[in-house]
A and B are shown apart, each in its own frame.
Chain A
Amino acid sequence: MAKVTLTGNLRLYTAGVTELEIKASNIRELLRNLGKQYPDLAAQLTDDLAVAIDGKIYQDDWFAAIGPDSEVHLMPRIGGG
């Protein structure tokens, strides 16, 4: 199962939980499963997120693969100026 870390304000919607293990083979599945486990969190799992899988940061990429032992971080979306 992937090791998932929630950063920023996401802990407000998980009763303070920031580290958990979730079965997911890609980002879309990860977000769906997280939303099922923490219904209050579901509304926050939007386009405003970036997802780092084993150090590589993805934005807007539902089908990026997550390995069974991947380290995943959910972070605020990154923009630029």
Chain B
Amino acid sequence: MVKMVMTREEVFKASGPASGANMRVKIGATRDGRITAGEAILHYQAGAFQGSPVPPGAQCAFAPYDLEHVRAVGFDVLVNRPKVAAYRAPGAPISEYAVESVVDEVAKKLNIDPIEFRLKNASREGTKASHGPKFGPIGLVETLEAAQAHDHYQSPLQPGQGRGVASGYWFNIGGQSSVTLNTSEDGTVALVVGTPDIGGSRASLGMMVAEELGVELDKVRPMIGDTSSLGYNFLTGGSRTTFATGKVAVDAARDLVSQLRERAAKIWDVPVGDILWHNGEALQKNGRGGPTETLSFRDLAESMGKTGGPLVGQASENVQGAAPSFGTHVVDVDVDRETGRVEILRYTVVQDAGKAIHPSYVEGQYQGGAVQGIGWALNEEYIYDSEGRLENAGFLDYRMPVCSDVPMIDTVIVEVPNPAHPYGVKGVGETPIVPPLAAISNAVADALGIRFSELPMSPPRVLAAIAAASSSK
């Protein structure tokens, strides 16, 4: 086995950024605001090897819109730069930045409110998506309506400030997961999963298992098992863990409940069909107990060594039916006309979660995605010298947003349940990075009257654009 350790500089130079891109988007619309056609020609940098995320970029570009005539063509372009790598909703923020910028321009040209314009053209359940299949239950319209009704959208701007709106889409995936529930004699249960927790999934999975078993959350101890301690698990990615591993965890809990009912039936010497499981207790359908009125989870755990041995719930599945999540973001900005710095004054994320199992962690994903997108929109870029050497291979010069750069990101959780999950869960991790690029660009255009078609809108670039606009007057 070889262990490879890279310095921060090597990580920047060799492990892969997101694609750069060059795009052309055309949208036609009637005077009353109905989009008649959309076309996107997308060129994504792949670096030295094929493999940019241009396929999902092309698929997602027009997903928020119900279009009769639509075409998206993607090119995977090899260039003499580092290979690219997957980066939160790979490919989608790029293409949707271009489309959502043009949508904003068309709405302005038609003098229609940008949310109203999106509502007139929004994808709904049954819409044939631009990438082919018909959408199931989706929550785009609900996010637009919630954004429109939000205090943020209703509040006035000060002179010189700008407001931008953009929507975004990501597919989400399911995949293979395995879950084991190991019961202890003290009435606790170890929830062992193989999908590492990168956003609060242990808490969400624990809550679903506690709900199924009818026990307090602190009786469930979630942990990430080693590769060899469980059946196969696909990685954490594609916004799949709370959906896919969550469904498998629920099924493992139902397997355990089935065993608990069998043990209670043995103890009471009645058919298992006569046993119900309710609020963490076994009870008989006819309302009569055996020697005791009920048998709790703890009672059955305590006696498991004498009633048949260890109680272990298990499930392994290849989960299908991931449902997409749509989001709509609203952002206010101010632009320092002397330095070119764009300040984020207020930011609101509205997104469909299907069902938010742990709302605070869902909000955390919304906020994290928005801030990652703010960095992409305003500052983050690889800067090369004239010889092609990377000049900013470190976090001192590669400008990521820090807490002092952003306001509290407000969130609204919309819930349009996914029928393929027992509680309605949709993945939420990737969609929140999709809208910020266009939302901020639209806000800057609103503030300055200058449309930026290149990112990031860093101070030198903004200052140059202001100077160019002034000199052309």
A positions within 8 Å CB-CB of B: 5, 7-8, 52, 54-61, 64, 71, 73, 75-76, 78-81
Chain A to chain B contacts (Cβ below 8 Å), 16 pairs: A55-B136, A56-B133, A56-B321, A57-B171, A58-B320, A59-B320, A71-B133, A73-B131, A75-B59, A75-B132, A76-B56, A76-B59, A78-B56, A78-B173, A78-B238, A79-B90
- Report the Cα distance A4→B238, complex, angstroms: 26
B123-155 vs A, Cβ < 8 Å mask (1 yes, 0 no): 000000001111110000000000000000000
Question: Majority SS of interface residues in chain B?
Answer: loop
Shortest distance between the CB of B371 and any CB in chain A (Å): 16
Q: 9 smallest A-B Cβ distances: which pairs?
A: A80-B238, A52-B133, A73-B132, A81-B86, A76-B55, A55-B134, A80-B237, A81-B88, A81-B90
In the complex, B282 has a CB within 8 A of chain A: no
Chain B neighbourhood of A8, CB < 8 A? 55
- Report the Cα distance A48→B56, complex, angstroms: 12
B314-329 vs A, Cβ < 8 Å mask (1 yes, 0 no): 0000101110000000
Q: Does B132 lie within 8 Å of A7, measured CB to CB?
A: yes
- Report the Cα distance A56→B420, complex, angstroms: 9
Q: Does B86 lie within 8 Å of A80, measured CB to CB?
A: yes
Contact A78 B134, CB 8 Å, known A56-B320, A56-B321, A60-B318: no
- Report the Cα distance A3→B347, complex, angstroms: 44
- Report the Cα distance A59→B90, complex, angstroms: 18
B286-308 vs A, Cβ < 8 Å mask (1 yes, 0 no): 00000000000000000000000
Shortest distance between the CB of B303 and any CB in chain A (Å): 41
Q: Does B134 lie within 8 Å of A80, measured CB to CB?
A: no
Chain B neighbourhood of A81, CB < 8 A? 86-90, 237-238, 430
In the complex, B240 has a CB within 8 A of chain A: yes
Shortest distance between the CB of B70 and any CB in chain A (Å): 12
In the complex, B456 has a CB within 8 A of chain A: no
Tally of contacts, chain A with chain B, CB under 8 A: 74
Known A55-B135, A79-B90; 10 more pairs at CB < 8 Å: A7-B131, A52-B133, A56-B136, A56-B320, A59-B174, A59-B175, A76-B55, A78-B238, A80-B90, A81-B86
Interface size class of B (residues with CB under 8 A): 20 to 34
Q: Does A59 lie within 8 Å of B132, measured CB to CB?
A: no
Shortest distance between the CB of A6 and any CB in chain B (Å): 9
- Report the Cα distance A69→B420, complex, angstroms: 21
- Report the Cα distance A25→B320, complex, angstroms: 18
Q: Please indicate which of the listed interface residues B87, B322, B430 has the most CB atoms of chain A within 10 Å of its own CB.
A: B322
Q: Which of A5, A61, A71 contacts B320 (CB 8 A)?
A: A61
Chain A neighbourhood of B136, CB < 8 A? 55-56
Chain B neighbourhood of A56, CB < 8 A? 133, 136, 320-321, 420
Q: Does A57 lie within 8 Å of B320, measured CB to CB?
A: yes
- Report the Cα distance A58→B53, complex, angstroms: 19
In the complex, B101 has a CB within 8 A of chain A: no
- Report the Cα distance A57→B56, complex, angstroms: 14
In the complex, B167 has a CB within 8 A of chain A: no
Q: Does B87 lie within 8 Å of A61, measured CB to CB?
A: no
In the complex, B367 has a CB within 8 A of chain A: no
Shortest distance between the CB of B110 and any CB in chain A (Å): 31
Contact A79 B238, CB 8 Å, known A8-B55, A58-B320, A59-B320: yes
Chain A neighbourhood of B55, CB < 8 A? 8, 76
Shortest distance between the CB of B19 and any CB in chain A (Å): 12
Chain B neighbourhood of A73, CB < 8 A? 131-133
In the complex, B180 has a CB within 8 A of chain A: no
In the complex, B239 has a CB within 8 A of chain A: yes
Shortest distance between the CB of A79 and any CB in chain B (Å): 6
Chain B neighbourhood of A75, CB < 8 A? 59, 131-133
Within 8 A of A (CB), among B48-77: 53, 55-56, 59
Q: Please indicate which of the listed interface residues A8, A78, A79, A81 has the most CB atoms of chain B within 10 Å of its own CB.
A: A81
- Report the Cα distance A60→B237, complex, angstroms: 16
